[in-house]
Homo-oligomer: A and B are copies of this chain.
Amino acid sequence: MPRRKTAKVELSRGRLLDAAAHIFRERGYVGTTMRAIAQDAGIEAGSIYYHYKSKDELIGAVLDFGIVELLSSVTSALSQLPADATPRLRIETAISAHVSAILDNGDYMLAMRRVFGQVPAATWRRHMRLRESYGEVWSKLLSSARRAGVVRTDADLTLARLFLLGGLNWTVEWYKPKGRPIRTVTRAFSTLILDGLLVPRARQARKPKK
Protein backbone atom coordinates (compact mmCIF):
# COMPACT_ATOMS: atom_id res chain seq x y z
CA MET A 1 0.00 0.00 0.00
CA PRO A 2 2.09 2.93 -1.17
CA ARG A 3 0.83 6.28 -0.02
CA ARG A 4 2.43 9.70 0.33
CA LYS A 5 1.12 13.12 1.40
CA THR A 6 -2.23 13.44 3.16
CA ALA A 7 -3.35 16.90 2.07
CA LYS A 8 -6.71 17.11 0.32
CA VAL A 9 -5.52 17.53 -3.23
CA GLU A 10 -2.69 15.09 -2.76
CA LEU A 11 -5.05 12.39 -1.58
CA SER A 12 -6.98 12.60 -4.79
CA ARG A 13 -3.85 12.69 -6.89
CA GLY A 14 -2.57 9.67 -5.02
CA ARG A 15 -5.60 7.55 -5.77
CA LEU A 16 -5.32 8.54 -9.38
CA LEU A 17 -1.63 7.68 -9.51
CA ASP A 18 -2.21 4.28 -7.93
CA ALA A 19 -4.96 3.56 -10.42
CA ALA A 20 -2.75 4.67 -13.28
CA ALA A 21 0.10 2.43 -12.13
CA HIS A 22 -2.32 -0.46 -11.86
CA ILE A 23 -3.71 -0.07 -15.37
CA PHE A 24 -0.40 0.76 -17.02
CA ARG A 25 0.97 -2.37 -15.39
CA GLU A 26 -1.74 -4.51 -16.85
CA ARG A 27 -1.98 -3.05 -20.33
CA GLY A 28 1.20 -1.18 -21.14
CA TYR A 29 1.34 2.44 -22.24
CA VAL A 30 -0.59 2.43 -25.48
CA GLY A 31 -3.02 -0.21 -24.25
CA THR A 32 -4.03 1.89 -21.29
CA THR A 33 -7.05 4.11 -21.76
CA MET A 34 -7.86 7.15 -19.73
CA ARG A 35 -11.34 5.69 -19.28
CA ALA A 36 -9.90 2.56 -17.66
CA ILE A 37 -7.76 4.55 -15.26
CA ALA A 38 -10.71 6.74 -14.36
CA GLN A 39 -12.91 3.75 -13.64
CA ASP A 40 -10.23 2.21 -11.43
CA ALA A 41 -9.94 5.48 -9.52
CA GLY A 42 -13.70 5.84 -9.21
CA ILE A 43 -14.07 8.99 -11.32
CA GLU A 44 -14.89 9.81 -14.93
CA ALA A 45 -12.37 10.06 -17.73
CA GLY A 46 -12.72 13.78 -18.32
CA SER A 47 -11.87 14.50 -14.69
CA ILE A 48 -8.34 13.19 -15.01
CA TYR A 49 -7.43 16.22 -17.07
CA TYR A 50 -7.92 18.46 -14.09
CA HIS A 51 -4.94 16.72 -12.43
CA TYR A 52 -2.73 15.82 -15.38
CA LYS A 53 -2.53 17.58 -18.70
CA SER A 54 -2.19 14.38 -20.70
CA LYS A 55 -1.70 10.65 -20.63
CA ASP A 56 1.93 11.36 -21.22
CA GLU A 57 2.26 13.48 -18.08
CA LEU A 58 0.49 10.76 -16.13
CA ILE A 59 2.87 7.98 -17.12
CA GLY A 60 5.75 10.30 -16.33
CA ALA A 61 4.44 10.75 -12.81
CA VAL A 62 4.03 6.98 -12.35
CA LEU A 63 7.55 6.33 -13.57
CA ASP A 64 9.15 8.98 -11.41
CA PHE A 65 7.23 8.01 -8.30
CA GLY A 66 8.40 4.42 -8.65
CA ILE A 67 12.08 5.35 -8.78
CA VAL A 68 11.78 7.87 -5.98
CA GLU A 69 10.30 5.16 -3.77
CA LEU A 70 13.20 2.84 -4.53
CA LEU A 71 15.79 5.51 -4.03
CA SER A 72 14.42 6.72 -0.73
CA SER A 73 13.88 3.20 0.65
CA VAL A 74 17.42 2.09 -0.05
CA THR A 75 19.20 5.28 0.98
CA SER A 76 17.15 5.46 4.15
CA ALA A 77 17.98 1.86 5.07
CA LEU A 78 21.66 2.50 4.43
CA SER A 79 21.68 5.68 6.47
CA GLN A 80 20.32 3.82 9.50
CA LEU A 81 23.34 1.53 9.55
CA PRO A 82 26.14 2.26 12.03
CA ALA A 83 29.01 4.17 10.49
CA ASP A 84 31.33 1.19 10.86
CA ALA A 85 29.03 -1.32 9.14
CA THR A 86 30.94 -3.78 6.98
CA PRO A 87 30.64 -3.58 3.20
CA ARG A 88 28.94 -6.95 3.33
CA LEU A 89 26.28 -5.71 5.71
CA ARG A 90 25.76 -2.60 3.64
CA ILE A 91 25.18 -4.64 0.49
CA GLU A 92 22.89 -7.07 2.28
CA THR A 93 20.91 -4.16 3.65
CA ALA A 94 20.55 -2.56 0.24
CA ILE A 95 19.41 -5.85 -1.29
CA SER A 96 16.83 -6.30 1.42
CA ALA A 97 15.54 -2.73 1.12
CA HIS A 98 15.45 -2.87 -2.66
CA VAL A 99 13.47 -6.10 -2.82
CA SER A 100 11.07 -4.99 -0.11
CA ALA A 101 10.49 -1.70 -1.91
CA ILE A 102 9.80 -3.27 -5.27
CA LEU A 103 7.35 -5.71 -3.73
CA ASP A 104 5.64 -2.93 -1.75
CA ASN A 105 5.22 -0.92 -4.94
CA GLY A 106 4.56 -3.76 -7.33
CA ASP A 107 2.15 -1.89 -9.58
CA TYR A 108 4.63 0.92 -10.10
CA MET A 109 7.54 -1.43 -10.76
CA LEU A 110 5.58 -3.61 -13.12
CA ALA A 111 4.20 -0.54 -14.88
CA MET A 112 7.79 0.54 -15.52
CA ARG A 113 8.68 -2.84 -16.96
CA ARG A 114 5.63 -2.97 -19.20
CA VAL A 115 5.98 0.47 -20.68
CA PHE A 116 9.68 0.20 -21.41
CA GLY A 117 10.00 1.37 -24.99
CA GLN A 118 6.36 2.37 -25.32
CA VAL A 119 6.52 5.77 -23.67
CA PRO A 120 7.18 8.81 -25.86
CA ALA A 121 10.93 9.28 -26.10
CA ALA A 122 11.03 12.72 -24.49
CA THR A 123 9.19 11.54 -21.38
CA TRP A 124 11.40 8.50 -21.13
CA ARG A 125 14.64 10.41 -21.41
CA ARG A 126 13.61 12.78 -18.67
CA HIS A 127 12.80 9.82 -16.46
CA MET A 128 16.10 8.09 -17.19
CA ARG A 129 18.02 10.80 -15.40
CA LEU A 130 16.25 9.90 -12.17
CA ARG A 131 16.90 6.26 -12.86
CA GLU A 132 20.60 6.82 -13.30
CA SER A 133 20.85 8.55 -9.97
CA TYR A 134 19.53 5.37 -8.42
CA GLY A 135 22.11 3.30 -10.29
CA GLU A 136 24.72 5.59 -8.80
CA VAL A 137 23.77 4.50 -5.28
CA TRP A 138 24.64 0.94 -6.20
CA SER A 139 27.80 1.87 -8.05
CA LYS A 140 29.08 3.66 -4.99
CA LEU A 141 28.11 0.79 -2.72
CA LEU A 142 30.08 -1.68 -4.78
CA SER A 143 33.12 0.49 -5.39
CA SER A 144 33.45 1.30 -1.71
CA ALA A 145 33.35 -2.43 -0.99
CA ARG A 146 36.16 -2.86 -3.46
CA ARG A 147 38.18 -0.13 -1.80
CA ALA A 148 37.73 -1.99 1.47
CA GLY A 149 39.39 -4.97 -0.19
CA VAL A 150 36.58 -7.48 0.15
CA VAL A 151 35.70 -7.77 -3.54
CA ARG A 152 37.43 -10.17 -5.95
CA THR A 153 40.07 -8.17 -7.73
CA ASP A 154 39.02 -9.39 -11.17
CA ALA A 155 35.33 -8.49 -10.73
CA ASP A 156 33.74 -6.05 -13.20
CA LEU A 157 31.58 -3.91 -10.93
CA THR A 158 29.40 -2.61 -13.73
CA LEU A 159 28.53 -6.11 -14.83
CA ALA A 160 28.04 -7.17 -11.24
CA ARG A 161 25.58 -4.34 -10.65
CA LEU A 162 23.61 -5.08 -13.82
CA PHE A 163 23.45 -8.78 -13.04
CA LEU A 164 22.45 -8.23 -9.43
CA LEU A 165 19.73 -5.68 -10.13
CA GLY A 166 18.39 -7.82 -12.97
CA GLY A 167 18.06 -10.77 -10.62
CA LEU A 168 16.51 -8.69 -7.85
CA ASN A 169 14.02 -6.93 -10.11
CA TRP A 170 12.78 -10.15 -11.61
CA THR A 171 11.34 -10.91 -8.17
CA VAL A 172 8.43 -8.59 -8.78
CA GLU A 173 7.27 -10.87 -11.61
CA TRP A 174 7.21 -14.15 -9.72
CA TYR A 175 6.90 -13.35 -6.01
CA LYS A 176 3.66 -14.43 -4.34
CA PRO A 177 2.88 -13.43 -0.72
CA LYS A 178 1.80 -16.98 0.02
CA GLY A 179 5.23 -18.33 -0.86
CA ARG A 180 8.58 -17.86 0.84
CA PRO A 181 8.88 -14.93 3.26
CA ILE A 182 10.69 -11.94 1.81
CA ARG A 183 13.51 -12.36 4.32
CA THR A 184 14.17 -15.85 3.03
CA VAL A 185 14.38 -14.55 -0.52
CA THR A 186 16.68 -11.62 0.23
CA ARG A 187 18.98 -13.74 2.37
CA ALA A 188 19.27 -16.31 -0.40
CA PHE A 189 19.98 -13.59 -2.97
CA SER A 190 22.63 -12.00 -0.75
CA THR A 191 24.43 -15.29 -0.27
CA LEU A 192 24.23 -16.05 -3.99
CA ILE A 193 25.71 -12.78 -5.17
CA LEU A 194 28.28 -12.44 -2.38
CA ASP A 195 29.39 -16.04 -1.83
CA GLY A 196 28.21 -17.87 -4.95
CA LEU A 197 26.26 -21.04 -5.49
CA LEU A 198 29.11 -23.55 -5.32
CA VAL A 199 30.99 -24.83 -2.31
CA PRO A 200 34.48 -23.31 -2.21
CA ARG A 201 36.32 -26.54 -2.88
CA ALA A 202 34.43 -27.07 -6.15
CA ARG A 203 36.07 -24.08 -7.79
CA GLN A 204 38.14 -25.55 -10.54
CA ALA A 205 38.10 -25.32 -14.34
CA ARG A 206 37.09 -21.71 -14.85
CA LYS A 207 36.90 -21.74 -18.63
CA PRO A 208 33.69 -22.87 -20.33
CA LYS A 209 34.14 -24.67 -23.60
CA LYS A 210 32.04 -22.99 -26.30
State the A residues within 8 Å of B (CB): 25-32, 77, 80-81, 85-89, 92-93, 95-97, 110, 113-118, 142, 145, 149-156, 159-160, 162-171, 173-174, 180, 184-200, 202-210
Residue among B150, B192, B204 making CB contact with A202, cutoff 8 Å: B150
Which chain B residues border A81 with CB–CB below 8 Å?
209
Total copies of this chain within the assembly: 2
Q: Which residue of B lies closest to A188 (CB)?
A: B159
Which chain B residues border A154 with CB–CB below 8 Å?
191
| Contact assessment for B115 and A28 in the assembled complex, using a CB-CB cutoff below 8 Å | yes
Residue among B85, B115, B189 making CB contact with A159, cutoff 8 Å: B189
Knowing A27-B30, A204-B88, the reply to whether A163 touches B152 (Cβ < 8 A) is no
Which chain B residues border A208 with CB–CB below 8 Å?
89, 92-93, 95-96, 186-187, 190
- A186 to B110 alpha-carbon distance, docked (Å): 27
Which chain B residues border A77 with CB–CB below 8 Å?
210
Residue among B88, B110, B193 making CB contact with A205, cutoff 8 Å: B88
| Contact assessment for A26 and B118 in the assembled complex, using a CB-CB cutoff below 8 Å | yes
Knowing A110-B117, A116-B114, A173-B116, the reply to whether A189 touches B210 (Cβ < 8 A) is no
| Contact assessment for A193 and B194 in the assembled complex, using a CB-CB cutoff below 8 Å | no
Knowing A26-B117, A118-B114, A159-B180, the reply to whether A89 touches B209 (Cβ < 8 A) is yes
- A207 to B194 alpha-carbon distance, docked (Å): 13
Which chain B residues border A167 with CB–CB below 8 Å?
162-164, 166-167, 170
Knowing A114-B114, A202-B88, A210-B96, the reply to whether A171 touches B162 (Cβ < 8 A) is yes
Q: Which residue of B lies closest to A78 (CB)?
A: B210
Which chain B residues border A166 with CB–CB below 8 Å?
166-171
- 22 A-B pairs within 8 Å (CB atoms) are namely A26-B117, A28-B31, A89-B205, A92-B207, A92-B208, A93-B208, A114-B117, A145-B198, A150-B198, A150-B199, A151-B197, A152-B198, A155-B197, A159-B189, A163-B189, A163-B192, A187-B208, A192-B193, A192-B196, A194-B197, A195-B198, A200-B200
